[in-house]
Amino acid sequence: MSSKKNKGIDRRDFLEITGKTAIGIGLTSIPFLTSSCSKNTTIKTSHGACYHDCPDRCSWKITTSNNKIIGFEASQNPYTAGKLCNKMVDFPNDVTYHPNRILTPLKRQGPKGKGEFKKISWAQAISEVAAKLEDIIDKKGGEAILPYSFGGNQGKVQSKAIPNRFFTHIGASQLERTICGNAAVAGILATNGQTTGVLPQDIVHSRYIILWGTNPIRSNQHLWPFIQKAKNDGATIVAVDPFRSETSEQADWHIQPYPGTDTALALGLMHVILKDNLQDQEYIDLYTVGIEELKEHVQKYDPESVAQITGLEKETIISLAKTYAQSSPSLIRVLIGMEHQVNGASAFRTVAMLPALTGAWRHFGGGLMHMTYELFGASLNWESINLPKALTSKTTRSINMIELGKALNNKELNPRVDALFVFNSNPAVTTPNQNLILKGLERADLLTIVSEHFMTDTARYADYIFPATSVLENWDILDSWGTPYININEPAIKPLGESKPNSELFRLLAREMGFTESYLYESDIDIVKKTLESDHHYLKGITFESLRKLGGQRLNLPDKWMPHATGNFKTKTGKCHFYNEDVEPKLPTYIPKAYSKTDTEKYPLHLLTIKTPKYLLNSSHANIEHILKKEGKPFLELNPTDASKRHIEDGDELKVYNQRGRVYITARVSQKVMQGVVCMPHGYWPSMLKGGSSANALTDDLLTDMGRGGAIQDAKVEIIKV
């Protein structure tokens, strides 16, 4: 192995990348497959991995014949266990071979938003776009150009390496990619100094599992069998969630607090634990900071007070605290769910304290389970992906992706955003304050360039669309933010039509704009190989060749991974911080969103917009007809009491509205939400719904308390029958 220096990935770097039945796609379902085999047939097997923003990162194996896919199945990654999730089992047909896929460059012909385009050549598209970008740079400077991308493709090459070099080279504005993950990470770092805790497969050793703000049956499907095994072996499963999800229904106990009150609930649990002397005092004395300050702080979070805040019975709070503290090994599983509130980072910061308070970290299978990206940050050669030294000194302004609508419509911004370059994202669907974004995209003077597979709601507003390869057609390397497995992605087939990888698009633009720097032209396969050139012990035995042969491989971690059994927190003191003098407030405090009296009176219902769809992944696959048919039309879940007050019955058509927009949707009256709360699915495209609006037409572009994440769940609405 090379002794090349490892450059660890920091939090922002990470966040920029930021079915139980089987698997195989039947051969007859693959397009263009012929029934006869000739003597010239070449059969090839290649390995790859899912590129979606999902903690599971499934590995797969693809069989091709003469550049046609004839087999698509999960590989034998021990974590994903030979199964793909229900969102991906027919991926070649749903994306790569889909008849509506964009396979040539397109130039807008009609009004923005109408989706009227004509086909043009790559040469013309590159020439015209390069000229327009050069003109903007000459007149306004590079900061007038804003790249917009996120987790639509989490491969390091197609999401980060070449694109980042290109935009930094031209001096474009930086995008704060914080909509998902940053608040959660900021909170846990304030307590533990790292996010990596219990590894996913080790949950089988836990005997008291709290799934806090996460719905693994839908969003972490390959973890669920391990949770079921733990349950079969005697574990108690508790779900803490304001929505009665499928996971909540299968848990032994569902705790249903009012949305955004997780900080208060966790502080209330600590009040009970300390009052009843259920803490692990030895662990606290050895490995924590600030216990006396915490004891005083939680006095005001007694069960009666917390019950009023959360809507729970005080007996529920007391019972949860006692059973958690007295069970071993106890585990809290968090993902992203509870970060999307104004005090989202505080919620994670507080929940992360509980395992240290009870000494859960001492036991195998005990502690906190969150992300795993730091394992790859320590072991991979990030010099191959991060900016070269020639670019690291360049500084430009940053714009938060959550505030895209504000940025596009701000005439006082200097320079104003004159060009928006979108790839690996569909902000017209996935970003809050949807109508303000659409207003910005309608600007006649905004040059919008999109790299895409389909005519998304964002692409409809583009001036130019470039056809992107699917993950089955390009090289990449994929780490994981939810597992300890690494994958390379080898192209199984040559790109269909005129599609090209994102990396090649930016190489072509760089060449057209006359740039000669070699870092802009490094090949995808060279980046993949160099990323694996590391002598870190986690990568022992993992090479480019082994990954091509085996598919995903587990990092070389100890069989018994117990990161904080004897402290070893990554804080400046090496201890868990109940009290942190470098963070404001120094102790986590419940500070709810303050609404005006007018807003509270006009919009009395708290809106949740969450990932309830079974077959969509954020906004991906939401245009596939058979998937939408299986998914069914979206519903607004509302409590029977709220329905009765408004004379609404199950199946009625509703208008859900606030000061930012309105959505037309069908009522589903149920106990899945408590009184005063309604829930709408996230991910549907506005253009495919009645009225042309979806969930983010109602959400606000608020930022969280730390991490500058999106407080998307702090929205209020009213509903009427139409």
Domain ranges of the chain: 1-180+373-576, 197-370, 597-721
Percent of the chain with pLDDT over 70: 95
pLDDT at residue number 23: 29
The pLDDT of 541-554, averaged and rounded, is: 95
The secondary element (H helix, E strand) that includes residue 390 is helix 389-392
pLDDT range class, residue 19, cuts 50, 70, 90: very low
What are the C-alpha distances in Å from 236 to residues 206, 213, 222? Answer: 9, 17, 19
- Identify whether the C-beta of residue 117 lies closer than 8 Å to the C-beta of residue 452: no
Q: How far is CA 603 from the centre of its chain?
A: 29
Is residue 107 scored above 60 in pLDDT? Answer: yes
pLDDT at residue number 5: 39
- Identify whether the C-beta of residue 148 lies closer than 8 Å to the C-beta of residue 456: no
The pLDDT of 225-244, averaged and rounded, is: 98
| Distance separating alpha carbons of residues 480 and 496, to the nearest angstrom | 28
pLDDT at residue number 17: 32
Write out pLDDT tens, residues 407-429: 999 999 999 999 999 999 999 99
Residues 604-638 as b/e (b if ≥16 CB within 10 A, e otherwise) read: ebbbbbbbbbbbbbbbbbbbbeebbeebeebbbbb
- Give 1-180+373-576's CATH code, choosing from 3.30.70.270, 3.40.50.740, 3.30.420.40, 3.40.50.2000: 3.40.50.740
pLDDT at residue number 39: 60
pLDDT range class, residue 11, cuts 50, 70, 90: very low
First to last CA, the chain: 67
- Identify whether the C-beta of residue 230 lies closer than 8 Å to the C-beta of residue 209: yes
3-7, 299-303, 399-403, 443-447: the lowest-pLDDT one: 3-7
pLDDT range class, residue 551, cuts 50, 70, 90: confident
On the question of a cis peptide bond just before residue 415, with omega within 30 degrees of 0, the verdict is yes
* Tokens 């008849």, residue located: 99
Encoding tokens for residue 339? 């970060």
- pTM (predicted TM-score): 0.94
Name every residue whose Cβ is closer than 8 Å to that of residue 563 and which is 6 or more positions away in sequence. 194, 196, 197, 361, 367
Helix (H, G, I), strand (E, B) or coil at 487: strand
Length, in residues, of the chain: 722
* DSSP-derived secondary structure letter, 402: G
Name every residue whose Cβ is closer than 8 Å to that of residue 112 and which is 6 or more positions away in sequence. 441, 442, 443, 444, 448, 460, 461
Radius of gyration for the alpha carbons in the chain, expressed in angstroms and rounded? 25
pLDDT range class, residue 81, cuts 50, 70, 90: confident
**HSE-up of residue 643 (Cα within 13 Å, Cβ side):** 21
Q: Where are the alpha helices (DSSP H) in 484-571?
A: 502-512, 524-531, 544-550
- Identify whether the C-beta of residue 462 lies closer than 8 Å to the C-beta of residue 450: yes
* 253: amino acid identity, one letter: W
| Distance separating alpha carbons of residues 632 and 480, to the nearest angstrom | 31
Q: How far is CA 592 from the centre of its chain?
A: 24
| Distance separating alpha carbons of residues 435 and 429, to the nearest angstrom | 10
37-46, 383-392, 620-629: the lowest-pLDDT one: 37-46
| Distance separating alpha carbons of residues 312 and 265, to the nearest angstrom | 9
- Identify whether the C-beta of residue 322 lies closer than 8 Å to the C-beta of residue 253: no
The pLDDT of 353-376, averaged and rounded, is: 98
| Distance separating alpha carbons of residues 116 and 109, to the nearest angstrom | 6
Helix (H, G, I), strand (E, B) or coil at 104: coil
Please give the sequence-ordered ranges of beta strands (E in DSSP) within 358-445, or none if there are none. 367-369, 398-400, 419-423
The pLDDT of 232-238, averaged and rounded, is: 98
**CA angle, 646 then 650 then 651, to 5°:** 110
CATH 1.20.1260.10 fits 197-370, yes or no: no
pLDDT at residue number 365: 98
Query: Which is nearest to 317 in space by CA: 306, 308, 309, 331?
Result: 306
Asked if the domains at 1-180+373-576 and 597-721 fall in one CATH topology, the answer is: no
* DSSP-derived secondary structure letter, 357: H
The pLDDT of 357-385, averaged and rounded, is: 98
pLDDT at residue number 469: 98
Helix (H, G, I), strand (E, B) or coil at 420: strand
The pLDDT of 580-603, averaged and rounded, is: 95
β-pair type (330-333, 117-119) = unpaired
Q: Write out the CATH class of domain 597-721.
A: mainly beta
pLDDT range class, residue 7, cuts 50, 70, 90: very low
Is residue 248 scored above 60 in pLDDT? Answer: yes
The pLDDT of 57-69, averaged and rounded, is: 96
Q: What are phi and psi of 229, to 5 degrees?
A: -65, -45
Work out the mean pLDDT of the chain and round it to a whole number. 94
pLDDT at residue number 429: 98
Instruction: State the virtual CA torsion across 532, 534, 538, 542 in degrees, nearest 10.
Output: 40
| Distance separating alpha carbons of residues 102 and 96, to the nearest angstrom | 10
The secondary element (H helix, E strand) that includes residue 130 is helix 122-140
The pLDDT of 174-181, averaged and rounded, is: 97
Encoding tokens for residue 649? 């019955």
- Identify whether the C-beta of residue 262 lies closer than 8 Å to the C-beta of residue 347: yes
pLDDT range class, residue 466, cuts 50, 70, 90: very high
- Identify whether the C-beta of residue 270 lies closer than 8 Å to the C-beta of residue 297: no
| Distance separating alpha carbons of residues 69 and 241, to the nearest angstrom | 41
Query: Which is nearest to 607 in space by CA: 633, 636, 644?
Result: 636
Number of Cβ atoms within 10 Å of the Cβ of 304: 10
- Identify whether the C-beta of residue 435 lies closer than 8 Å to the C-beta of residue 457: no
β-pair type (367-369, 236-240) = unpaired
The pLDDT of 560-574, averaged and rounded, is: 98
Q: Which residues pair with 419 in a beta bridge?
A: 145, 447
DSSP notation for 222-275? TTHHHHHHHHHTT-EEEEE-SS--HHHHHSSEEE-PPTT-HHHHHHHHHHHHHH
pLDDT at residue number 15: 37
**HSE-up of residue 222 (Cα within 13 Å, Cβ side):** 24
Encoding tokens for residue 36? 């006869």
pLDDT at residue number 40: 72
pLDDT range class, residue 38, cuts 50, 70, 90: low
* 644: amino acid identity, one letter: S
| Distance separating alpha carbons of residues 385 and 365, to the nearest angstrom | 34
The pLDDT of 158-164, averaged and rounded, is: 97
